[in-house]
A and B are shown apart, each in its own frame.
Chain A
Amino acid sequence: MTTGELFLQQLINGLNLGAMYSLLALGFTLVYGIMELINFSHFNVFMVGAFIALGVLRLMGLDGQIVILTGLPLVVVILVAFVVTMFSTGMIGVGIERLLLRPLRAVTGPAAMILTIGVSYILFNIILIGVGGDTRNFANPLPSVSWHFGEATLRLRDVLIWGITIVLMLGLTYFVQFTKLGKGMRATAQDPEAARMMGVEVDNVVGLSFFIGSALAGASGLIFGLYYNYAKVDMGFSAGLRAFTAAVLGGIGNVPGAMLGGVLIGLIEAGSSQLIGQAWADVIIFSILVIVLVFRPAGLLGRQAPNKS
């Protein structure tokens, strides 16, 4: 491969990783923006999402053997997999908030954050007991259509991942910017007490932020499966940590920041794997995070947290 082709190939790989990290980072940032909570259970909601997707694909007859679909069946399978996975993880997020975090809402300090770590372990162990700790092959029904630019390859899979990610991000942006509930959400993120006195039901907004964030984590888990072709019970930690880093890099609480941060982390990972080696990717990612935070403590686009009153 020429240098140009290598660059192009790593750009393609990096954008795939970036799509996955961005969607996952949005969940951290939405919840942090509304309630200043770092939700560590998000790591494993992502992992559970990948397993739900695996189960959904299996129910539709795709169980790890090579089954290639085309045309309408492919579109339906992909659509159903995303919708069911996202709805399921969304409801898991709502459940975690409603049953476990809401009773702690009035408690100040790190109690809620510690609780999310506990929830993360519970989700981990549920999958460990229910499915096991082995690597599971992820069905990939996509035909191996690809386009070649020299020796660089752009696969149909890549285009699909980007397309879905862009649709989800545009949808989220539209929702947050232009719908009434979205405006209520932004208002709550900026001043919860004032928003309440305008008539925003804060409980609904918090629940909604968990639903959307967790649904996006489900989409991210499914993308992980489509990209790496496997799911494993411990997949949440490294992806989750990088996505959390992406949220901080972009400015935690800041929605465009999470999108930007995710794409940057994906590109950095792909680039440093190519230039220095896979084993060094995390070193580079976290070094860049440290450097950015030293010079821009609020992240690239600025941290956004609720006003305390």
Chain B
Amino acid sequence: MADDILLDFAGVNTYYGDLHALKNVSYKIKRGEIIALLGGNACGKSTTMKTIMGVVKPATGGVTFDGEKIDHLTPAQRVMRGIAPVLEARRLFPRMSVYENLEMGAYTRKRGPDFDEDLERVYSLFPRVKERRSQIAGTLSGGEQQMVAIGRALMARPRLLCMDEPSMGLSPLFVETVFDIITQINKQGTTIFMVEQNASMALSIADRGYVLQTGVVVLEGPARELEANPLIREAYLGEMKVDANAE
């Protein structure tokens, strides 16, 4: 049963100076799942991502990936183990070409036939990225940048894809495309841990979800149950509708 667990994020407490950003937070992610992590601004979602990637160190608690404790590993070593991030606000390298950005995703890997295979896979998922491959990343539209950001993460050939707000700043139409692609990537065998403010979209494709409020997990359960939960409907789904109208 324990073998099912790909990522075990157990009892993590993280501080930024005096700020207690994560308070005894635990997530268990099984192989092949899509997990949605919901919550408002500054609730600890991005800290969760940074803790998994190893750029923020937890004060207590720890992270186990595929049965191995990874707390002492550098970000590079974690990428090599099969964890890749899609960062908040894309964070492409703006003065590098699209192709070079994809290469950076495969930075920890040896160049070989695998690289070309993964490149083809990214290009077939995103024909647009192939068209734009020699363009400077900073000149792409937000939607195109998101495609490159996802493609860049896939170039690490990850087993766990950690996505920080994949729908942020995208047009409603493109949000649907992105979530379709996430589902597709998941079907191809990659486990997905996704931080999202767009709760309705996230829960519609997720298997399970967690709700984080000021550093505490207040709710967790199957996505269908969370969708039906009155608290969620009021706090997140309702809030998102207002936001959607405001755009």
Contact = CB atoms under 8 A, between A and B. Distances in A.
| Main DSSP-derived SS at the B contact region | loop
B96 interface: yes
B55 interface: yes
Contacts of B215: none
A190 B136 CA distance: 13
A187 B76 contact: no
B74 A194 contact: no
A199 interface: yes
A186 B103 CA distance: 12
A307 B95 CA distance: 11
A186 B94 CA distance: 10
B159 to A, nearest CB: 15
Q: Is the interface of A mostly helix, strand, loop or mixed?
A: helix
Interface string A183-202: 11011001101111111110
A180 interface: yes
Interface residues of B, number: 24
A304 interface: yes
A209 to B, nearest CB: 16
A183 B96 CA distance: 9
Interface residues of A, number: 19
A1 to B, nearest CB: 45
Contacts of B105: 198
A187 B75 contact: no
B53 interface: yes
Interface string A284-298: 000000000000000
Contacts of A186: 93, 95-96
Given A190-B94, A304-B95, A199 B55 contact: no
Contacts of B104: 183-184, 187, 195, 198, 200
Given A183-B96, A184-B107, A187-B96, A199 B87 contact: no
B100 A183 contact: yes
Nearest to A186: B96
Interface of B: 53, 55, 74-76, 79-80, 85, 87, 91-96, 100, 103-105, 107-108, 111, 152, 156
Given A198-B107, A199-B76, A200-B107, 9 more contacts: A184-B107, A191-B91, A191-B94, A194-B87, A198-B156, A199-B107, A199-B108, A200-B104, A201-B76
Question: 10 shortest A-B CB distances, which residue pairs?
Answer: A199-B108, A199-B76, A199-B79, A194-B91, A190-B93, A199-B107, A187-B93, A198-B104, A198-B107, A196-B75
